[in-house]
Amino acid sequence: MKDIFERIKETPGPLGQFQGSADGYFMFPQLEGEIAPRMHFNGKEVLTWSLNNYLGLANHPEVRKADAEAAKEWGMAYPMGARMMSGDTKYHKKLEQDLADFVSKPSGYLMNFGYQGMISIIDSLVSRHDVIVYDAEAHACIMDGLRLCWAKRYVYQHNNMESLKKQLQQATKVAEEQNGGVLVITEGVYGMAGDLGKLDEIVALKKEFNFRLLIDDAHGFGTMGKTGAGTGEHFGVQNEIDVYFATFAKSMAGIGAFVASKREIVDHLRCRCRWFLEL
């Protein structure tokens, strides 16, 4: 038998092993000054390449003014409590519908955080009878959602449509045996490599296979497409995306997320996403 703390000390993990030498520089750097392309680090002005401020809204005068006025009128904690129990407002409803309209979906709803939101969406959409097919380079929030749900899963090689087709064949067979359905999960823009998910080619496979499509468009929302409605708009397949998910942490330079889909699916998520019920 080994003490938990001793095990942690002996096996710090892929990032923990570098903590002593990287902390404060490569890891957890302390940036100072206004959020901008140039900030101060260790007493010097440096270029910053990793800020989630794609459109420069973090310090936009109109945004800061609206922020200050909202805090003055409602304080920092209005409304208190989970929305299902005591915290819903007309402002939530309006923003949800505005976001849904923007990404060409009938309905949407807000989430406090992107990471937890995606985990809960996956858990709420599928049952133990269903099968998930996902891209090998899916974000950690998708991977954690897969680990926590009951559905069987198959992975296809990154952006490899032949591999996806092969996995869909197997997934379809298993889903039919279990009287379930198939959910394909991909990203719009892959944050680490910067390449785009092949949404047009994935959607084309719907002619051959019966599946629903969930897109994590955290990096595409606000930046891709003619109006900024996302990677689906960029490819001209927005209407073929069954469940659209995006966060405010990139282009909007804020915190939070939203999901948009058919009204009955959004209503289902509103009553099933555990983080939403218990927050």
Asked if the peptide bond before residue 37 counts as cis, ω within 30 degrees of 0, the response is no
181 three-state secondary structure: coil
pLDDT of residue 76: 82
Q: Report which residue type is found at 163.
A: S
How far, in Å, CA of 123 to CA of 137, rounded? 20
Which residue numbers in the chain have pLDDT < 70? 275-279
Contact between 132 and 154 under an 8 Å Cβ cutoff? The reply is yes
Rounded CA-CA distance 14/51 in Å is 23
Residue pair 186/215 in contact by the 8 Å Cβ criterion:
yes
In this structure, what DSSP letter does residue 197 have? P
Helix (H) or strand (E) segment spanning residue 161: helix 161-178
Tell me the CATH number for domain 80-278: 3.40.640.10
Q: Residue 21 corresponds to which amino acid?
A: S
Which pLDDT score, from 0 to 100, does residue 189 have? 97
